[in-house]
Amino acid sequence: MSRIRIATIWLGGCSGCHMSLLDLDEWLIELAAQADLVYSPIADVKRFPSHVDVTLIEGAIANNEHLELAHIARRNSKIIVSFGDCAVSGNVTALRNPLGSPEQLLQQVYIEHSDPRGKIPHEPGIVPVLLDKVMPVHQVIPVDYYLSGCPPSAPRIRALLEALLTGRKPEVDIRFG
């Protein structure tokens, strides 16, 4: 049987979902016997690879780089999982949405609430550009499975991965319209 190619992506989230993935502890050794981690914030890989079987996306879509990476991941992955509540619903990351436009938000954060002589970072190509609104992943690309939780617990992550490794439909599946 060929080895499963797994990727994980960290977009607009706190990394807590990836920490929960690492909480799988010794089961990660079993996982490594069946699968290759081909892209992840915990692996030193610069470009999202082609021919990925399963991609877990942590975090919401908050800036132009998230948007671009989500589309690349969708094109190159058979299965996309919205991994955790920020990916599923926007959650904490989307709390900025009611606060105004990105310009208003940056003004508040860098100047009004910190330093009246402060400067808003503006380095095209270096500092990502905030989108008008933070969006859950499924508003940007089609998602196959949703794993809710903030973060999802390690046993639920394991249940999802075990199902996908054996070609079964995960019982944790929650589909949104």
- By the criterion CB under 6 A, which residues form the site for ligand SF4? 13-14, 16-17, 58-59, 84-86, 91-92, 150-151
Q: Find how far residue 69's CA is from the centre of its chain.
A: 10
Closest separation in Å from C-beta 50 to ligand SF4: 26
Least distance CB 22 / ligand SF4 (angstroms): 12
Residue 131 to residue 129: CA distance in whole angstroms: 6
Which one, 41 or 78, has the nearer CB to ligand SF4?
A: 41
Contact 5, 53 (CB under 8 A): yes
The residue among 105, 100, 87 whose CA lies nearest residue 141 is: 87
Closest distance to ligand SF4 from the beta carbon of 153 (Å): 11
13 or 170: whose CB is closer to ligand SF4? 13
Nearer to ligand SF4, 15 or 107 (CB): 15
Element (H, E) at 147: strand 145-147
